[in-house]
Amino acid sequence: MTGAQALIRCLEEEKIELVFGYPGGAILPVYDALYHSKIRHILVRHEQGAAHAADGYARVTGKVGVCMATSGPGATNLVTGIANAYMDSVPIVLITGQVPTTQVGTDSFQEVDITGITMPVTKHNYLVKDPRQLPKIVRQAFHIAATGRPGPVLIDLPRDVAQAEIDFTYPESVNLPGYRPTYRGHPSMIQQIARVIMEAERPVIYAGGGVIGADAAEELKMLAETISAPVTNTLMGLGSFPGSHPLFLGMLGLHGTRYANMAVTGCDCLIAVGARFDDRVIAKVAGFAPNAKVIHIDIDPAEIGKNVRAHLPVVGDVKQVLQSLLALLQKKENREWFSHVQALKAEFPLRYRQGDKLKPQYVIEKISEITRGDAIIVTDVGQHQMWAAHYYQFKRPRTFISSGGLGAMGYGLPAAVGAQLGAPDRKVILITGDGSIQMTMQELGTAAEQRLPLKIFVLNNRQLGMVRQLQEFYCDRRYMAVGFSFNPDFARLAGIYGMEGYTIENAERLAEILPAVLQSPEPVIVDCLVCGKENVMPMVLAGSTIEEAIG
Amino acid sequence: MLHTLAVLVENNPGVLARVAGLFSRRGFNIDSLAVGRTDNSAISRMTIVVEGDDLILEQVTKQLHKLIDVIKISDITKDEYVDRELVLIKVNADAATRGEIMQIVDIFRAHIVDIGHKTLTIEATGDEGKINAIEQALRPFGIRELARTGKIAMLRGFKASSVNNNGKEDV
């Protein structure tokens, strides 16, 4: 069989049901081979959409997302999506066409050095030069993408390699001497940690996306309940702990809840689980958990001690480490600390003022109320993203899909497409902004073509709200290039794409249509004309500690 | 402080670019880098001299480890090790100076590997200090061309930073 046919066979061996992509000249043989396969291909409208969709699919299903693009511009268009998956540790495999090996390096038509370009934003990548190596490479690519700390892996496939004849055998195992992730935590360190935790009087658990990646939400809950430790989530960690739980503190960091930030500042033992002490979480390093023994559990050794010194580090799979740890812990109460934290929650709740105009926070609160945390919430990037993190009460892992590390506006719509295809029976709600959605709006075409019943809420403030907020605080209200004096009518746009469209200007009307919109089997765009003056609060200003938040 | 790392990598295309790219994008400074294959043709050995404190070195090592092609990293700085550099120096030499240059070559236990009409080409091996010293000694005659390999290094005694045939690490 040809290299291209072998590639498709490999995908079948990996039990891939669906790929996202966009064809072109250099990847023609692969699409020709795909023609004969049962694997479903989702034709997107731009390659960036394919990468984000594969990412959204992977986050919702826990499987590896796959996408394809042709050489040159097809490949470069993937780059934002790859960087996004890399920053948020999402397992995706990307296959790009390449000009024939005989032309590589000659600046030929649609040639670009995509393995060179993506080296800093992939976990690993391959340029296939020898067709016989292809099955081995694909096997390795899926292994690397899905194991250890997950991430994107790119395979660049020259056209002549795709056309060459090879004997196909799919390797049963992978031999990578330089890649052996540590899954079991060091037993004596886990014992030490158990001792420190049992001695702590004011513990806080700081749980990140690694908990979701390791499928360890159950263990996290058991840990929190066993030692009565309140849990705060990073943006990526939302969904790993039930939002309604009395021990839940919401998100921490620059836009974290006051009580989460105060609890972290006051704790004597910080248990970081699958989190990486991102600068948006810790703000000023010296003021982050200053009185705490820091325990850091993560699968990536490079995250240990990178930003904040950990007193007790364990490298390992979060689920396995938590299981070993739980076996060593006894039930304890920390009554005083628990009531202190409850008092903080009561004293400094998240809040906003209702007014004449529709408030964006209210829209999300209402969606949360009606869906009871059962929906999959996909967001874009900006103020609406933070409000979704604040006001939607999550119940389960893999229900909050958002661009965390890269903060890529335009992620939302294609990720929602991928999420809905990965979970066809679930309600997928996209919360986006008028800025973000216009970055990848062409994917409405994909959503319409696939008849995806997406519920799209555009929190439309006619501006780039988050940048406007930054300019308010850091540029003395010199608002530069943040207002849209023209926006399309999103409700009419919905009509053009065969979707239902609504324009909402006040809370009453929203409450009126929302139940029906959320029940509708049709795709819907709700253009929410929200108050343009709202800021995301609380907010930690540059140079402050997380405890010194305003708002 | 300068650290010397012995790094074993899979001899795959692009591995040098991966290592070099990692250093540049993470803001680590390479002082010298030498690479060549080992007794196992599938494995290359890089000797990287990098500047930084312990914290930086820890990050360098951990980030290098994340590269799939990197098999093993040993920071041998604190152990006893042998290190060598090779230099080729083409220096101006006429009848009047030739004798003096040859004396310098003898003192440094270097070799003359080529004689031109008005030049001598000298080969010297040694640690960084010796190479610097011979360069200084020859500079007054006028160095026309100079090429250095960068440092390669190996632990003294029984200890090794290699991998055996199973890909398993030695002691």
Q: What is the pLDDT of residues A482-533, one digit of tens each?
A: 999 999 999 999 999 999 999 999 999 999 999 999 999 999 999 999 999 9
pLDDT attached to residue B105? 97
Average pLDDT of span A74-102: 98
Average pLDDT of span A398-402: 98
Q: Are residues B57 and B87 in the same domain?
A: no
- A424/A40 Cα distance (integer angstroms): 14
Q: Is B55 on the interface with A (CB under 8 A)?
A: yes
Q: Are residues B28 and B74 in the same domain?
A: yes
Reply yes or no: is the peptide bond before residue A538 cis, omega within 30 of 0. yes
B169 pLDDT more than 70: no
**Partners of A528 in the β-ladder:** A459, A504
Average pLDDT of span A387-414: 98
- Considering chain A, what percentage of its residues have pLDDT values greater than 90? 100
Does the distance separating the beta carbons of B63 and A302 come in below 8 Å? Answer: yes
pLDDT attached to residue A22? 98
- B55/B6 Cα distance (integer angstroms): 18
Q: What is the pLDDT of residues A99-109, one digit of tens each?
A: 999 999 999 99
Q: Which residues of B touch A146 (CB under 8 A)?
A: none
Element (H, E) at A415: helix A412-422
pLDDT attached to residue A161? 98
B167 pLDDT more than 90: no
How distant is the Cα of A158 from the closest Cα of chain B, in angstroms? 15
Task: Using alpha carbons, select from B49, B40, B46 the residue that is nearest to residue B19.
Answer: B46
Q: Is B53 on the interface with A (CB under 8 A)?
A: no
Q: What is the pLDDT of residues A109-143, one digit of tens each?
A: 999 999 999 999 999 999 999 999 999 999 999 99
Q: What is the pLDDT of residues A182-191, one digit of tens each?
A: 999 999 999 9
pLDDT attached to residue B163? 73
Average pLDDT of span A397-426: 98
- In chain B, how many domains are there? 2
- A502/A517 Cα distance (integer angstroms): 9
Out of B14, B17, B68, the one facing A178 most closely (by C-beta) is: B68
B168 pLDDT more than 70: no
pLDDT attached to residue A551? 86
Average pLDDT of span B59-71: 96
Residue count of chain A, please give it.
Answer: 551
Element (H, E) at A91: none
Q: What is the pLDDT of residues A344-360, one digit of tens each?
A: 999 999 999 999 999 99
Evaluate whether residue B157 is within a structural domain. no
pLDDT attached to residue A548? 94
Q: What is the pLDDT of residues A446-464, one digit of tens each?
A: 999 999 999 999 999 999 9
Evaluate whether residue B166 is within a structural domain. no
Range of the domain at B104: 82-152
Domain ends where: B34, B60, B78?
B78
pLDDT band at B170 (very low <50, low <70, confident <90, very high): very low
Q: Are residues B43 and B60 in the same domain?
A: yes
Q: Is B122 on the interface with A (CB under 8 A)?
A: no
Contact A297, A272 (CB under 8 A): yes
CATH of the domain at B38: 3.30.70.260
CATH of the domain at B121: 3.30.70.1150
Does the distance separating the beta carbons of A129 and B18 come in below 8 Å? Answer: no
pLDDT band at B158 (very low <50, low <70, confident <90, very high): confident
Q: Which residues contact A489 (CB under 8 A, 6 or more apart)?
A: A503, A527
Average pLDDT of span A307-330: 97
Alpha-carbon Rg for chain B, nearest whole angstrom, is 19
Q: What is the pLDDT of residues A275-294, one digit of tens each?
A: 999 999 999 999 999 999 99
Evaluate whether residue B17 is within a structural domain. yes
pLDDT band at B159 (very low <50, low <70, confident <90, very high): confident
Q: Are residues B57 and B27 in the same domain?
A: yes
A202 pLDDT more than 90: yes
Domain ends where: B50, B78, B106?
B78
Kindly list the distances between the CA atom of residue A226 and the CA atoms of A495, B40, B124, B147, in Å, as whole numbers in the listed order.
52, 52, 68, 65
> What does the mean pLDDT of chain A come to?
97
Evaluate whether residue B158 is within a structural domain. no
Q: Are residues B105 and B135 in the same domain?
A: yes
Domain ends where: B27, B56, B78?
B78
Q: Which residues of A touch B69 (CB under 8 A)?
A: 178
pLDDT band at B166 (very low <50, low <70, confident <90, very high): very low
Evaluate whether residue B148 is within a structural domain. yes
Kindly list the distances between the CA atom of residue A320 and the CA atoms of A190, A215, A331, A466, in Å, as whole numbers in the listed order.
11, 10, 20, 39
Q: Which residues contact A180 (CB under 8 A, 6 or more apart)?
A: none
Count residue pairs from A and B with Cβ separation < 8 A.
Answer: 42
pLDDT band at B102 (very low <50, low <70, confident <90, very high): very high
Q: Which residues contact A214 (CB under 8 A, 6 or more apart)?
A: A274, A299, A317, A318, A319
Q: Are residues B93 and B146 in the same domain?
A: yes
pLDDT attached to residue B164? 59
Average pLDDT of span A362-373: 97
Does the distance separating the beta carbons of B66 and A302 come in below 8 Å? Answer: yes
Q: Which residues of B touch A300 (CB under 8 A)?
A: 66
Angle between helices B95-107 and B128-138 (to 10 degrees): 160
Q: Are residues B56 and B96 in the same domain?
A: no
pLDDT attached to residue B165? 47
A478 pLDDT more than 60: yes
pLDDT band at A223 (very low <50, low <70, confident <90, very high): very high
Q: Are residues B102 and B86 in the same domain?
A: yes
Q: Are residues B67 and B102 in the same domain?
A: no
Out of A124, A177, A301, the one facing B62 most closely (by C-beta) is: A301
- B111/A136 Cα distance (integer angstroms): 48
B160 pLDDT more than 90: no
Q: Are residues B12 and B53 in the same domain?
A: yes
Contact B152, B34 (CB under 8 A): yes
Q: Are residues B70 and B94 in the same domain?
A: no
B44 pLDDT more than 80: yes
Evaluate whether residue B74 is within a structural domain. yes
Q: Are residues B14 and B34 in the same domain?
A: yes
**Which domains are delineated in chain A?**
3-163 (3.40.50.970), 187-347 (3.40.50.1220), 360-529 (3.40.50.970)
Strand-pair category, B152-155 with B81-92: antiparallel
